[in-house]
Structures are given as C-alpha cells and as structure tokens.
Chains A and B, each alone.
Chain A
C-alpha cells in the first residue's frame, strides 16, 4: 500500500506509533481471483463551496494504495480410478486452480503412504501436468513435473501416476494425495510478481507484521487440504485407486433350427442359428477381448451370417471386427470396460 503524501502536521502522532498487530477480517465476496496485485487504487474527493454567497475554487483530496497479493489455490480430487493388481504407470487426474490475484508456479508432490482409509499404498508415484496436446495421460507428452505460470483463475490438470502392488485384491482401495505449493518471485517494482517461464519461482513468504507501504504485501488465504494446513500457500486432495477385476461369462445357445421342409427338426440340411452371449460384470477393463468359436464337426458355415449386436458383419478379415477363417467364427471386441454385454449370432448347416 502507498499513501503518497504522508505528511501529517507536527509530531504529535508519535505517541500513537505503537503498532498492535491485529487479526484481519477479509470478507470473501464473489469476484473470482480479483484485481491483480500491484494495481493502484485511487480515491479522490472534490469539494465545492461558497463564502458569503461567492463560489470558491474547488478543493480536492486524493489518496492511493496498492492492491496486495492474496495467495490461494485449490487442489480438487475425489476421483476413483479403476486399476488391476500389479499394473504400472496408472494415471488418475486431479486439478489445481490458481485462486490468487497474480500468475504463479505450482510445485507438485504425491503422497502414497496414507495410513487411514485405504487397503494398499500405491508405489513409485509421480505427478505430471497435462500438456493440452492430447486429452488423457500421455507419458510422452505430459512430462512437466510442475505447473509453470498458471494464470489467475486458471485450472491445470495434473496426473498422479503410480504402480499398483500385485498383492492388492478385488475391491481394495489405495489413496493417492496430490499437494500443490504456490511458488513465485515477487521481486518486481513495488514487490509485484515477476514471471519465471520454464522454471519454478521461489518459495513465497507471507508478509509478517505491519503493513508495508508502497509494496505489495503477501497474504495466504488457502484452506487446509488432506495433507496440509490452512494459510500455508499449499493445498492437497486425494484420489482413489480401486482394484476392479471384471468377471466375464460366455454362453452359447442354439437360438433356432430350420429344417428343409420349414419345420424345426434337426436333420441333414437343417440350418442352425447359434447365439453367443458375452457378459462383463464388476469393474475394470478387459483388453483385446476376442471371441473365437470353431464350427462343430459335420456342419457348414452359412457365409456372411455373423451378426454382432444386430449389426451384420462380413466374413473377410477387414475393417469390421468379425471374420470367418480356418473354419472359425472370430469377433474382436477390443478393450471393453465392465459392465458390458454383447450378442453374437451366426448360422451353420448340418451336413
């Protein structure tokens, strides 16, 4: 804050110069990050008057002060990510929002040894910032380990990336905590923020004691997180790794039989419609799921009769995900997240 003309008549104020530090009331009214620190706020009052009916020249009085720095940030988690035991580099996304009134850097730290509220501790954890190039965690793109120059009011996505112990069993949970710490150099004119692109700024120290006139003071306004206290320029939150093992059932039935005379007798020449129901329950993801069904002996496949979930497929090994080769019906379902259901039908003629 700055009061440019601080001449007070006489020195009678000296006896008052005992400064008692007082706790502040900072009502949080609804402007997001607010006016940038270092902004000069000025107030001018102008007074018009007259003496004995004659208007006198206007007089005025002005004052100015600087807007100070409010350090505040929010780490948001609460997300559950399904994982398999023994899997590596499992990413779970959290966000870091800069609620301060200047840009800042944010250091990132991951806590995995959380004693209460889970069954296992993830291992070998790291934190990586979403680069914005491709959504979702991309190990080759999302390589930054701190948030660089996050603008006031802006939010960054951060991935906690951990290995899951092989000893974890279905429905076990493992908590992972992300702590962000605000960093920045307040070394500009009047103590304003100076950007440090590509590198982390210095640790921020809250201004202690009396107000510093003519300089941007720093006030911590963050609340306590899962791993940190209030007013420490840090905030933290948890995400949960959930061991989710999908359960798969495959059921093959004869849906119908059509004999050459239009009846339903199983005899040479009858056409049998087979139905394979694939059901995935529980949680988690099955990767590269392929259903292969070799034809029974003494039957001949009816060409182009494969139907997946009511969609007809061709027999060639082509772009559609079904084929008939080596006397086997084969359907590739790829990576499937449970729960899911598929129905495959095809026909064969009895020799």
Chain B
C-alpha cells in the first residue's frame, strides 16, 4: 500500500515507466529514485490551457528538463544526516531559481563540487583570480541537506530544472 500511495504522487513518471531506479540499499534504510520530465501545455475541453508534466520527449536543444529525485525511508528507524548531491547533467544549463526541496537547505557549487554555497554568496574566481558571484548557468552541482530526521515510511522530493544546451 505504501508503494501504491507513492505511485499516486508520481503518476506522471509512471506513465511511461520512465522511472529509473538507482542502486538501493538493503532493508532498514533509504532509497532514492530519479525521473526526468518536461512540461507540456494541454488544452482541456473548456479550452483552458494547463501545464502538465510528461516523461522527457523531443529532447532537442533548448528543451527545459525537470529532474526530480524522490527519497524514501523504507526502513524501520528514522534516517538522519541526509545529503543529496546532484551534478548538473552534461550538456545542460541549470535554470536560475529552479532548485526545490521542502525542508532542505539548498547549496550550489560552480567549481565541480569542491566549494558549496548558497546561491547569493557562491563565488568563483575570474580570469584575473578575483572572486565574483557565480552565475546560475555556471553551477556544476546542487546539494540538498535535509533538515532533521526522515521518519520511517516518509519520503521527500528534491529537484531542479536544466535546459539542454
């Protein structure tokens, strides 16, 4: 039943079975799954336009892809110190302000994951070796630090958008 409710919350990626599960740790732990989606505009019977998410298709340059990582405590004990690290995919450019994750501290890196900082104070060195603010399109990594413990049976979602260059 837990899986079924999980299904409901992630109906769209279930559409095409595009669900791509990674390595899963043994029981008594946490698992993480990732999906890639795009937003499409649909016109309802009343002529009203709405945005819906579907699995990635027609992924041509310029397409903005929404990456969502879902993590779930499938064990019996609460999990703590949860940190999710996601490099920006290759040939992609992070969309400014798109990172999301409830109850998470979100930090970025623009130097391949060496230094992380909040968007407003992340710096990189310019050609002259001087510090300057990193631009969102220069981000190489995103890191979510989950605040507190994730109780058994609970799940969370973090993600971001990146356009195909």
Chain A residues contacting B65 (CB-CB under 8 Å) are 41
A41 shortest CB reach to chain B, Å: 5
- Is B153's CB within 8 Å of the partner chain A? no
Chain B residues contacting A47 (CB-CB under 8 Å) are 30, 32, 69, 71, 82-85
Docked complex: B59-85 residues within 8 A CB-CB of A: 59-65, 67, 69, 71, 75, 77-85
Chain A residues contacting B150 (CB-CB under 8 Å) are 49
Which of A27, A62, A210 makes the CB contact (< 8 A) with B20?
A: A62
Chain B residues contacting A165 (CB-CB under 8 Å) are none
B163 touches A43 (CB 8 A): no
- Is B129's CB within 8 Å of the partner chain A? no
Interface size on A, residues (CB 8 A): 65
User: Contacts A211-B16, A211-B58: A41 and B22 contacting too (C-beta < 8 A)?
Assistant: no
Interface code B30-48, partner A: CB below 8 Å = 1, 0 otherwise? Answer: 1111111011111100000
Interface code A1-20, partner B: CB below 8 Å = 1, 0 otherwise? Answer: 10111111110110011011
Residue of A whose beta carbon sits closest to that of B40: A22
- Is A133's CB within 8 Å of the partner chain B? no
Which of A42, A45, A68 makes the CB contact (< 8 A) with B59?
A: A68
User: Contacts A59-B24, A65-B56: A49 and B69 contacting too (C-beta < 8 A)?
Assistant: no
Residue of A whose beta carbon sits closest to that of B39: A25
Residue of A whose beta carbon sits closest to that of B89: A43
Which of B28, B33, B83, B90 makes the CB contact (< 8 A) with A41?
A: B90
User: Contacts A13-B17, A25-B39, A51-B28: A41 and B60 contacting too (C-beta < 8 A)?
Assistant: no
User: Contacts A51-B79, A61-B34: A45 and B19 contacting too (C-beta < 8 A)?
Assistant: no
- Is B7's CB within 8 Å of the partner chain A? yes
User: Contacts A25-B40, A25-B41, A63-B34: A217 and B58 contacting too (C-beta < 8 A)?
Assistant: yes
Cα separation A51 to B90 with both chains bound (whole Å): 33
- Is B155's CB within 8 Å of the partner chain A? no
Interface of A is mostly: loop
Chain A residues contacting B57 (CB-CB under 8 Å) are 1, 24, 68, 210-211, 217
B15 touches A68 (CB 8 A): no
Which of B21, B32, B89 makes the CB contact (< 8 A) with A5?
A: B21
B62 touches A34 (CB 8 A): yes
Chain B residues contacting A210 (CB-CB under 8 Å) are 16, 57
A219 touches B58 (CB 8 A): yes
User: Contacts A47-B83, A56-B25: A24 and B40 contacting too (C-beta < 8 A)?
Assistant: yes
User: Contacts A67-B59, A70-B61: A29 and B81 contacting too (C-beta < 8 A)?
Assistant: no
- Is A261's CB within 8 Å of the partner chain B? no
B54 touches A59 (CB 8 A): no
- Is A101's CB within 8 Å of the partner chain B? yes
User: Contacts A26-B60, A41-B164, A50-B79: A61 and B92 contacting too (C-beta < 8 A)?
Assistant: no
User: Contacts A16-B15, A41-B92, A59-B25: A26 and B62 contacting too (C-beta < 8 A)?
Assistant: yes
- Is B52's CB within 8 Å of the partner chain A? yes
A67 touches B81 (CB 8 A): no
Which of A9, A31, A49, A69 makes the CB contact (< 8 A) with B3?
A: A9
Interface code A296-317, partner B: CB below 8 Å = 1, 0 otherwise? Answer: 0000000000000000000000
* Interface of B toward A, CB cutoff 8 Å: 3-4, 7, 11, 14-25, 28-36, 38-43, 51-52, 54-65, 67, 69, 71, 75, 77-87, 89-93, 150, 163-165
Interchain residue pairs A-B with the least CB separation, the first 7: A34-B61, A61-B22, A211-B57, A70-B60, A63-B20, A22-B40, A61-B34
* Interface of A toward B, CB cutoff 8 Å: 1, 3-10, 12-13, 16-17, 19-20, 22-29, 31, 33-35, 37, 39, 41-53, 55-57, 59-70, 101, 207, 210-211, 213, 217, 219, 221
Q: List 20 A-B contacts (CB under 8 A).
A: A1-B57, A3-B19, A4-B20, A13-B14, A25-B51, A26-B58, A28-B62, A41-B65, A41-B91, A46-B86, A47-B71, A49-B30, A59-B31, A62-B20, A67-B59, A68-B58, A210-B57, A211-B57, A213-B16, A221-B60
